[in-house]
């Protein structure tokens, strides 16, 4: 099968064959390649892809003990989520973790201060990603995860359209994927349907960090594993 045929079979094919096909496709085309192929076909229907691959994505590679933590947010310029991201990077580095801070390549020059021991990396912007060009972002993220030997990624762009695809890429790479929600859950329903559809992706993450008991209870209704940061 070529890569497009693998993408179809993984999402729309026989469910009992998905696990073996995922291993086969990942070995043949690489994790970034196969996730990009699925994203190219199912970009506006991520629910179908996540429903098919979410349960098995974490089975492709064994989980690792956490020594290196990556943090992702689009940028570090003035803003609450940006400030929290910089704070967490500095905090965890001070606790002895090796920290890799990932931001988008169109980030502002004006940023919150980050400790020099925190590794900085950039990837193509999430807000410019689409079905045609997501492969560039996927390859950049996969290269960072592999080169930096990342064990867990804390993902702060909790309402971004790239979240389902970045999550699948991480989990297929054996990297734990934790979502940091920087606001209240009603934000998921303030915009287009794609945000509401993110709820399914949250279910297959390795954990969701929330800011309140209300958010924790909401996410529990969609079978998410929650950790409160309040």
Q: Angle 46-57/193-203 helices, nearest 10 degrees?
A: 10
Please determine, for residue 170, whether its predicted confidence score (pLDDT) is greater than 80.
Answer: yes
Q: What percent of the chain has pLDDT over 70?
A: 89
Q: Which residue has the higher pLDDT, 60 or 154?
A: 154
The pLDDT confidence band at residue 21, using thresholds 50, 70 and 90, is very high
Residue 174 and residue 229: Cα distance in Å, rounded? 25
Residue 215 and residue 226: Cα distance in Å, rounded? 9
By C-alpha distance, which of 67, 173, 70, 178 is closest to 120?
70
pTM: 0.92
What pLDDT score was predicted for residue 193? 56
Based on the domain organization, do 46 and 75 belong to the same domain? Answer: no
In contact, 97 and 66? CB cutoff 8 Å: yes
Q: Within a domain: residue 155?
A: yes
> What's the domain count of the chain?
2
Q: Within a domain: residue 159?
A: yes
Tokens 């008991």 correspond to 213
228: helix, coil or strand?
Answer: strand
36: helix, coil or strand?
Answer: helix
Count Cβ neighbours within 10 Å for each residue of 159-184 and write b for 16 or more, e otherwise: ebbbbbbbbbbbbbbbbbbbbbbbee
Based on the domain organization, do 43 and 156 belong to the same domain? Answer: no
Q: Within a domain: residue 63?
A: no
Q: Angle 134-147/31-42 helices, nearest 10 degrees?
A: 150
Please determine, for residue 188, whether its predicted confidence score (pLDDT) is greater than 80.
Answer: no
Supply the mean pLDDT for the chain: 90
- Per residue in 95-137, pLDDT (tens digit) is 999 999 999 987 677 789 999 999 999 999 999 999 999 999 9
The pLDDT confidence band at residue 229, using thresholds 50, 70 and 90, is low
- Per residue in 78-96, pLDDT (tens digit) is 889 999 999 999 999 999 9
In contact, 41 and 7? CB cutoff 8 Å: yes
Look up the domain containing 181 and give its range.
68-228
Please determine, for residue 228, whether its predicted confidence score (pLDDT) is greater than 60.
Answer: no
Count Cβ neighbours within 10 Å for each residue of 26-47 and write b for 16 or more, e otherwise: beebbbbbbbbbbbbbbbeebb
Q: Which residue has the higher pLDDT, 187 or 151?
A: 151
Based on the domain organization, do 108 and 172 belong to the same domain? Answer: yes
In contact, 118 and 94? CB cutoff 8 Å: no
What pLDDT score was predicted for residue 184? 66
Q: What are phi and psi of 229, to 5 degrees?
A: -120, 70
What pLDDT score was predicted for residue 77? 87
What pLDDT score was predicted for residue 88? 96
What pLDDT score was predicted for residue 105? 86
Mean pLDDT of 33-38: 98
Residue 58 and residue 78: Cα distance in Å, rounded? 35
What pLDDT score was predicted for residue 9? 97
CATH no. for residue 144?
3.40.50.2000
């Amino acid at each position: 099968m070529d890569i497009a045929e693998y993408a179809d079979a993984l999402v729309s094919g026989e469910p009992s064959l998905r696990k073996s096909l995922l291993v086969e496709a990942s070995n043949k085309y690489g994790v970034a390649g196969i996730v990009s192929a699925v994203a190219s076909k199912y970009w506006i229907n991520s629910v179908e892809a996540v429903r098919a691959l979410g349960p098995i994505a974490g089975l492709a590679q064994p989980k690792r003990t956490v020594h290196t933590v990556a943090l992702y947010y689009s940028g570090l310029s003035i803003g609450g989520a940006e400030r929290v991201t910089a704070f967490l990077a500095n905090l965890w580095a001070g606790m002895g973790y090796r920290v890799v801070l990932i931001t988008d390549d169109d980030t502002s020059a004006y940023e919150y201060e980050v400790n020099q021991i925190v590794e900085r990396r950039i990837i193509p912007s999430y807000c410019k990603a689409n079905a045609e060009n997501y492969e560039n972002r996927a390859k950049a993220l996969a290269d960072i995860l592999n080169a930096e030997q990342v064990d867990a990624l804390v993902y702060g762009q909790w309402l971004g359209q790239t979240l389902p695809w970045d999550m699948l890429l991480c989990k297929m790479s054996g990297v734990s994927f934790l979502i940091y929600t920087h606001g209240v859950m009603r934000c998921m329903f303030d915009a287009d349907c794609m945000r509401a559809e993110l709820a399914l992706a949250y279910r297959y993450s390795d954990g969701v960090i929330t800011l309140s008991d209300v958010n924790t209870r909401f996410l529990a209704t969609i079978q998410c594993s929650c950790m409160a940061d309040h």
